[in-house]
Amino acid sequence: MTRISGVSLRRVLDSRGNPTVEADVLTVSGGFGRATAPSGASTGEHEAIELPPNEAIAAARKHAVPRLVETVHAGNQREVDAALRGADGTEEFSEIGANSAVAISMAAAKAGADVLGAPLYQHLGGAFRGDQFPVPLGNVVGGGEHAADATHIQEFLAAPVGAPSVAEAAFANAAVHETVGDLLTERGIPAAKGDEGAWAPAIDDSEAFEIVAAACDQVAEEVGFDISFGLDIAASELWDGDAYQYGETSRSPEEQIDYVAELVHEYDLAYVEDPLEENDYEGFAALTERVGSEALICGDDLFVTNTERLQQGIEQGAGNSILIKPNQIGTLSLAVDAIETATRNGFTPVISHRSGETEDTTIAHLAVATGAPFIKTGTVGGERTAKLNELIRIAEDAV
């Protein structure tokens, strides 16, 4: 029986040292699931609402827990997530907080899997899942909202598209990260790490392109498979209402499209996330028209894992890929809806961590459960390797 017998909520630390919501879900037959909400720094304005954890916990205890306990089945994810939506009563989870909602939603999924004795990816994806693994996009240099005085572009990503296994892909990304560190040292450039463990040197974007391209090439040669290059520009953070501000350089929307199209060609980019600000569907469409056959043009802040916003993107040809962050929308069911809508319409889903993370591994299972071709997890740091190591275990059937 997966009927929920108890839900407990607490504040725990995330990777930035901020409090976040953790949920435990228990079932009448002794099933147990625990999950923790991540938290963004470069958040989209259309995301579901993250409340201060104390408030989110108090509101969820009052409104959601009584609806779940003794009534809802942890093994029925749609039922769990509908109860969370009903308890909240708003479109954007502003009553109980998307942080409480997503923690409970993910913990219930784990409790459901526990009762079944099945790995989470199989509970979420079905008996025939588990043979398709995502390519991990590894953040190796970063700045923007994730590190002060570093690059303007938020993330320079290694994309080991030719890796024969998820384990080899994860190790290749770590090698690119290490090589970037060596190249920075050779140039006498000191670098701390940003929120996601990427190097955060005080260099121009152009120098970062040079270094990351060299590191990807060097490691590709060593490992013997292709390592492409990707970006999360996080352009909403550069947008001032009129133009994109890269320090001294300002680019109009048209110039931004030209700039990104040139980057795609110059660096053979496989992936570009948020090349334009979060409401510019037309700009996304224009860029997709130009380079969409060469690179994934992915909407993060544009779509915020929201099926309605994605639907508009599909209609307008704005992008060809969607970033999936369950806490942007509040429940696993809504995240899966977005993934399925994307896949049906030829948009590539990319499952993603947040800059504020925990040791929670749900997104690794979600990627395998849905057969998503890519996952963005970072490269080094315990909260990032937690997801990569879980993928390695799933591939070995050792979860």
Ligand X SMILES: C=C(OP(=O)(O)O)C(=O)O
The residues annotated as belonging to the active site are 196, 325
Whole-angstrom Cα Rg for the chain:
20
For the record, the structure tokens of 341 come out as 């809508």
Min. distance of Cβ 44 from ligand X in angstroms?
Answer: 7
User: Which is closer to Mg ion, CB of 20 or CB of 236?
Assistant: 236
Picked from ligand X, Mg ion, none, the partner binding residue 334 (CB below 5 to 8 A depending on kind) is none
CB within 8 Å of 263: residues ≥ 6 apart: 209, 231, 269, 272
Identify the H or E element spanning 125: helix 120-125
- Find out whether 355 is annotated in a ligand binding site: yes
292 makes contact, choosing from Mg ion, ligand X, none, with CB < 5 to 8 Å by partner type, with none
Interface positions, 300-329, toward ligand X (CB under 6 A) = 300
First-residue to last-residue Cα distance in the chain: 22
Q: At 355, list the tokens.
A: 């800059």
Task: Report the SS3 class of residue 357.
Answer: coil
Query: Looking at 20, 42, 77, 151, which residue binds ligand X (CB under 6 A)?
Result: 42
Q: Does 47 bind Mg ion (CB under 5 A)?
A: no
C-alpha closest to that of 209 among 134, 282, 259, 249:
259
Q: How many CB atoms lie within 10 A of CB 305?
A: 30
Closest CA to 200 of 144, 263, 246: 144
Tokens 């942890």: give the residue.
Answer: 74
Question: Do the Cβ atoms of 358 and 385 come closer than 8 Å?
Answer: no
- The listed partner (ligand X, Mg ion, none) that binds 352, CB under 5 to 8 Å by sort, is ligand X
Q: Residue 301 Cβ, how far from Mg ion at the closest point, in Å?
A: 6
Q: Which stretch binds ligand X (CB under 6 A): 256-264, 314-322, 330-338, 348-356?
A: 348-356
Please tell me whether 352 is known to bind a ligand: yes
Question: How big is the site for ligand X, counted in residues (CB under 6 A)?
Answer: 12
Cα–Cα distance, 276 to 284 (Å, whole number): 7
Sign, CA dihedral 375-378-384-385, equals positive
Give the residue nearest to ligand X (CB): 40
Rounded distance between C-alpha atoms, residue 324 and residue 330, angstroms: 11
Q: Per-residue contact track with ligand X, 142 to 181, x per CB under 6 A?
A: ---x------------------------------------
Residue 300 marked ligand-binding? yes
Residue 277 near Mg ion by CB under 5 A: no
Q: Decide if residue 43 touches ligand X (CB under 6 A).
A: yes
41 contributes a contact to ligand X by CB under 6 A:
yes
Question: Residue 147 Cβ, how far from ligand X at the closest point, in Å?
Answer: 11
Residue 294: exposure state from Cβ atoms within 10 A (0-12, 13-18, ≥19): middle
- Closer by beta carbon to ligand X, 352 or else 358: 352
Chain center to CA of 255? 28
SS3 of residue 133 by DSSP: coil
Residue 273 labeled ligand binder = yes
The annotation status of 353 as a binding-site residue, yes or no, is yes
Pick one of 95, 196, 205, 232: the residue that binds Mg ion (CB under 5 A).
232
From the list ligand X, Mg ion, none, pick the one residue 41 interacts with, judged by a Cβ distance below 5 to 8 Å according to partner type.
ligand X
| 110: enclosing H helix or E strand | helix 98-116
**376 known ligand binder:** yes
Q: Is 355 in the site for ligand X (CB under 6 A)?
A: yes
In the complex, the smallest distance separating the C-beta of residue 90 from ligand X, rounded to whole angstroms, is 21
Alpha carbon distance 141, 156 (integer Å): 5
193 assigned ligand-binding residue: no
The answer to the question of residue 40 lying near ligand X (CB under 6 A) is yes
Query: Is residue 237 a contact residue for Mg ion (CB under 5 A)?
Result: no
Q: What is 257-292 written as a DSSP string?
A: HHHHHHHHHHHTEEEEE--S-TT-HHHHHHHHHHHT
- Determine whether the annotation assigns residue 46 to a binding site: no
Q: How far is the CB of 394 from ligand X (least distance, A)?
A: 22
Interface with Mg ion by CB under 5 A: which residues?
232, 273, 300
Interface with ligand X by CB under 6 A: which residues?
40-43, 145, 232, 234, 300, 352-355
Binding site residue list for substrate: 146, 155, 273, 300, 352-355, 376
Binding site residue list: 146, 154-155, 232, 273, 300, 325, 352-355, 376
